[in-house]
Copies of this chain bind each other. A is one copy, B any other.
Amino acid sequence: MHASLFLIPVTLGETSVEQVLPTYNKEIILNIKYFIVENIRSARRFLKKVDTNIDIDTLTFFELNKHTNLEEIDNYLQPITNGFHIGIISEAGCPAIADPGSDIVAIAQRKNYKVVPLVGPSSILLSLMASGFNGQGFAFHGYLPVDGAERIRKIKQLEHLIHKEDQTQIFIETPYRNQKLVEDIVKNCTPSTKLCIAMNITCENEYIKTLPVKEWEKKLPDMAKQLCIFLLYK
């Protein structure tokens, strides 16, 4: 196989590898000696989880995160020109989705390298499947603004798009602000607008529930410190 840049998804939380990753991913991983990773420690931990016999000390890791000097990124791809595969591993889920990995993929595309995405868990896609919302038109917005007034404006804009574009609106929040975000949604959206709260996807305590905003008011789950993703639709 041509030397390629493989995009390697990881488990979400404490799930087993067998639950969320095809066995093919392991075959590919065992053929890679160079990895570009968001965090070296958790990448090593993931690789050990994939195969306890893996010899970590024979592998080379390049760290790619917000502290990385952008000029170094080019060098990270050097092994491909020497005929070696490279793997990208992010912190959770699929690389280059909601994380900095896409910069390196963009460079690989510009250099005409082969880029191969592997299948794995994405909280965006899994929550959309289970929400019952429109899967033929949807948008992912990442994090909403933190500021109160700006955030409420954004929530109202997303609610408007549901109707105008017939589009499911998907967004995330840092765990300690989940509760506040949902309270803002409940307070500011039309009571009939539907909100899906998806929590700990693929984990033992997975929770995915869709209700009209007005019905959430009195039965919000405890979302503090939980990995959540939120979806709005009509």
**What residue of chain B has the Cβ atom nearest to residue A140's Cβ?**
B138
For the side of the interface on A, what is the size category?
35 or more
Are B99's CB and A135's CB within 8 A?
yes
Which B residues lie within 8 Å of A99 (CB)? 135-136
Which B residues lie within 8 Å of A23 (CB)? 18, 23
Render A122-133 as a binary contact track against B, CB cut-off 8 A, 1 for contact: 101111111111
Which B residues lie within 8 Å of A196 (CB)? 109
Which B residues lie within 8 Å of A32 (CB)? none
Are A131's CB and B109's CB within 8 A?
yes
Are A136's CB and B130's CB within 8 A?
no
Which B residues lie within 8 Å of A135 (CB)? 96-99, 101-102
Instruction: A55 to B223: give the CA distance in the assembly, Å.
Output: 42
Which B residues lie within 8 Å of A167 (CB)? 139
Are A120's CB and B117's CB within 8 A?
no
Q: Does A121 contact B (CB under 8 A)?
A: yes
User: Top 4 nearest A-B pairs by Cβ distance?
Assistant: A106-B132, A139-B139, A97-B135, A105-B132
